[in-house]
Amino acid sequence: MPGWLCCPGFFPVTNPIGIFDSGLGGLTVYRALQKLLPHESLVYLGDTARVPYGTKSAPTVTEYSIENTEFLLERAAKIVVVACNTASAYAVPQLQAQFDVPIQGVLNPGAAHAATVTRNGHVGVIGTSGTIASDAYAQALRQINPDLQVTSQSCPLFVPLVEEGWLDRPETVSIAQTYLTPLLEAEVDTIILGCTHYPLLRAVIQQVVGESVTLIDSATATAEVVKDMLGRGGMLPPISANRDAGREHPAPTDHEFWVTDAPERFQRVGEIFLGHSLDNVRKV
């Protein structure tokens, strides 16, 4: 049992959940947490001065992740969610060893969910170059079930397509066909969307692979795991328990958005992710 579970009182339950990502993509995780835990305060940090992490090395991504975690702890985070697949692949063990708060990446929840839903035992993983090169999803899947077959594919053009807002253009469909054909040939029946940007391409990906393939969104799976962790650790704010007991909801808690550079771009492109404008993005 991790140390923090023994002393939940050490982190006030009303403290915020901290979330960091290399940039914007983690907003899909933010959205999932907001939906599942509407009474929590959320503090989001996008490391937009150094985005993307997907093409950078493990030591560099780990160094950046440590700095991001330190910032969130200064903002009194009671738990840190690593809402970036590359950072989850490279940095989570180091962060867990170094910091006292619970640290949760997006990788294990996605892998665990995929291992549960696959019917033929053949799982596909798509992600950035860094995430795929790390082989972290394949290792996590095989640790859950050594009999699983895993086929991985990096899709480097998906992130720029999302950030350009080209979510359903013919070029996007064509590029998705190129990337996803090897997974179909390998007869996977489940594909992990191993990058936080990819849920925005869900419709195109589903169209290309067909309805018989199940797409796993790590963001949703991670939000479920975070809720469970907080519940087990006695770290949910009282109002969540009230909500579960059917009592009235309070006014929405305030959320913070921080970036390391270019807040106006984050606000603008953030709308693609959230469907509404962000007017309170601050630069660290």
- Which residues are catalytic, by number? 84, 195
- Decide: is 272 part of the binding site for its own copies (CB under 8 A): no
Dihedral pair phi/psi, residue 242, rounded to 5° = -60, -45
- Decide: is 174 part of the binding site for its own copies (CB under 8 A): yes
| d(C-alpha 132, C-alpha 194), whole Å | 9
Q: Which lies closer to its own copies via its Cβ, residue 4 or residue 64?
A: 64
DSSP 226-243: HHHHHHHTT-S-HHHHHH
CB of 25 to its own copies, least distance (A): 13
Extended strands (E) in 67-193? 79-82, 103-105, 122-127, 149-154, 190-193
Q: Which of 246, 274, 230, 265 is nearest to 8 (CA)?
A: 230
Within 43-82, which residues bind its own copies (CB under 8 A)? Answer: 48-51, 55-57, 60
Question: For 250, which DSSP code?
Answer: -
- Decide: is 120 part of the binding site for its own copies (CB under 8 A): no
How many Å separate Cα 133 from the centre of its chain? 18
Dihedral pair phi/psi, residue 265, rounded to 5° = -70, -40
Q: Which lies closer to its own copies via its Cβ, residue 49 or residue 76?
A: 49
Q: Which lies closer to its own copies via its Cβ, residue 123 or residue 208?
A: 208
Looking at residue 38, its amino acid is P
Within 2-41, which residues bind its own copies (CB under 8 A)? Answer: none
Q: Which lies closer to its own copies via its Cβ, residue 190 or residue 260?
A: 260
CB of 162 to its own copies, least distance (A): 11
Within 133-172, which residues bind its own copies (CB under 8 A)? Answer: 156-157, 159-161, 163-164, 166, 170-171
Within 215-254, which residues bind its own copies (CB under 8 A)? Answer: none
Q: Which lies closer to its own copies via its Cβ, residue 44 or residue 158?
A: 158
Question: For 195, which DSSP code?
Answer: S
| d(C-alpha 163, C-alpha 66), whole Å | 26
From residue 81, alpha-carbon distances to 73, 102, 188, 281 in Å are: 12, 8, 29, 19
> In the complex, which residues of this chain contact its own copies (CB under 8 A)?
48-51, 55-57, 60, 129, 156-157, 159-161, 163-164, 166, 170-171, 174-175, 178, 261-262, 265
